[in-house]
Amino acid sequence: MNVEHVRARGRGWRALGAIALFLVLGEAAARWTGFVDRVNPMPRRLYVATDVPDLPYRLRPGVDLEVQGSRVTVNELGMRERAIPSSRPAPGTRRVLVLGDSVAFGWLQEADRAFPRLLEGDLRRAGGAWARAEVLNAGVPGYAATTEAAWFREHGEALHPDVVVVAVNLNDFDRVPHMNGLGILSTDDDRSPSWSPANWSELWLALRWGWLLARGDSRIARAPAVQATPAPRPTEASGAPGRWDPLDRYVSAIRKRFYHQPTEPAWGELARAWSDVAERGRRIGARVVFAVFPDGDQVGVESPDLAPQERLLALCRERAFDCVDLTPAFLAAPAGVELHRDIMHPNDEGHAIAARVVAAYLLGSPAGPVGVTAPPGG
């Protein structure tokens, strides 16, 4: 080998070394600065793509970050929850698994003020067989009935819960977003596979986002697929028209129209998903309860549109699902007490009411004017 070949090889190795150094340092810098999350309104690092067809994404295991003012810590199983020492509950422990979307997750709230942790406290205070109740939060923002059922199939059954509570948001018939090549949730036809660098490389995303920002690309100017804007604190009643953001009111009206005249395939998919969760729960010996949360614009008005609750409770009666409607408890709250953060997300007080009602329902005790609806013969 002549001297020129040796020099060329040396230059090649130095170039490869420089590229490797750039990639390592660039990745570290991108993670340290959080560039993508700074220019992106979505908490992008909160989610990770999967290759399961009906489970397009889940919470990213092991992340600990701030999401629009609240701390979110995700355990090794991809849940906004403490570490779970065993797949089976300890002897004497009754394990409750809460499925749901951003309502169960506790969007814009600290974990200890969200419905699952409050439910755990209410059950433990009841004592007896529930003195060591353990409530696990499997809520994931953006999920719908189909993804909740898929998560239960893929991950929830293995936790051997005694009770499964499905926190039902009135948009649970909606199309579910997925992770795209920009590392964010999208409902376009651009689902990214789990091996994509958009799913694991901060540097890749930083370079791509920087290039798109420089070009003024419209894709990164879109509103995120899952978002919640803290509502102002007006003096109006909770359901008054001026209480909510106009876009929130528009989307809420679409939801109400759907329940007046359900369309396929959305309605059939919701019913099948509920049936799947109920059947899987039965097979593992777990009680499955569907807890229906009201929208904010159904509270504090004289004649709320309750078509969603009526439709869902009719489904419960038809298929003998175990269901509890939380709406009457929200309606019974003292006048002027705000129960929602935005039109679909309860605030701390709303979560506390929901926890008390569900705890009373699980304990089999009267809970006042809560609108409990049990299946026929229940």
**Quick check: 352 and 117 in contact, CB under 8 A?**
no
- Residue 222: per-residue pLDDT: 47
pLDDT at 36 over 80: no
Of 237, 255, 183, 238, give the one whose Cα is nearest residue 34. Answer: 183
pLDDT at 377 over 70: no
| Residue position matching structure tokens 């309750």 | 306
Residues comprising the chain, all counted:
378
- Split at pLDDT 50, 70, 90, the class of 242 is low
How confident is the model over 84-96, as pLDDT tens digits?
Answer: 988 999 999 999 9
For helices 3-33 and 202-215, the axis angle rounded to 10 degrees is: 80
pLDDT at 238 over 60: no
Give the integer Cα–Cα distance in Å for 46 and 223.
17
How confident is the model over 48-78, as pLDDT tens digits?
Answer: 999 999 999 999 999 998 888 889 999 999 9
End-to-end CA distance of the chain: 87
- Residue 372: per-residue pLDDT: 44
- Residue 220: per-residue pLDDT: 61
For helices 307-319 and 266-283, the axis angle rounded to 10 degrees is: 50
Instruction: For strands 64-67 and 55-59, give the pairing.
Output: unpaired
- Residue 186: per-residue pLDDT: 83
- Residue 325: per-residue pLDDT: 97
- Residue 114: per-residue pLDDT: 95
Give the CA distances from residue 155 to residues 7, 198, 253, in Å, rounded to whole numbers and listed in that order: 55, 24, 34
| Helix-, strand-, coil-residue percentages of the chain, each rounded to 5 | 45, 15, 40
Give the DSSP H or E segment for 373.
Answer: strand 372-373
Q: What percent of the chain has pLDDT over 70?
A: 84
- Residue 8: per-residue pLDDT: 66
- Residue 374: per-residue pLDDT: 43
* Dihedral angle, C-alpha 33, 35, 38, 44, nearest 10 °: -110
Give the integer Cα–Cα distance in Å for 169 and 159.
23
| One-letter amino acid for residue 106 of the chain | G
Give the integer Cα–Cα distance in Å for 238 and 346.
11
How confident is the model over 5-32, as pLDDT tens digits?
Answer: 766 676 777 777 777 777 677 677 767 7
Written as six digits, the tokens of 272 are: 């099948």
pLDDT at 228 over 80: no
Considering 39-53, 106-120, 213-227, the range whose residues carry the highest mean pLDDT is 106-120
Burial class of residue 229 in the structure, from the number of CB atoms within 10 Å of its CB (0-12 exposed, 13-18 middle, 19+ buried): middle
- Split at pLDDT 50, 70, 90, the class of 179 is confident
Give the integer Cα–Cα distance in Å for 303 and 318.
26
Question: With the C-alpha atoms ordered 72, 76, 82, 87, is the resulting torsion angle positive or negative?
Answer: positive
| Mean pLDDT over each residue of the chain, to the nearest integer | 85
Which letter does DSSP use for residue 344 in this model? S
- Split at pLDDT 50, 70, 90, the class of 108 is confident
- Residue 223: per-residue pLDDT: 41
Give the integer Cα–Cα distance in Å for 81 and 61.
10
Written as six digits, the tokens of 354 are: 């929901």
Lowest mean pLDDT, pick from 26-40, 95-109, 182-196, 298-312: 26-40
Lowest mean pLDDT, pick from 71-85, 180-194, 333-347: 180-194
- The 10 Å Cβ neighbour count of residue 97 is 28
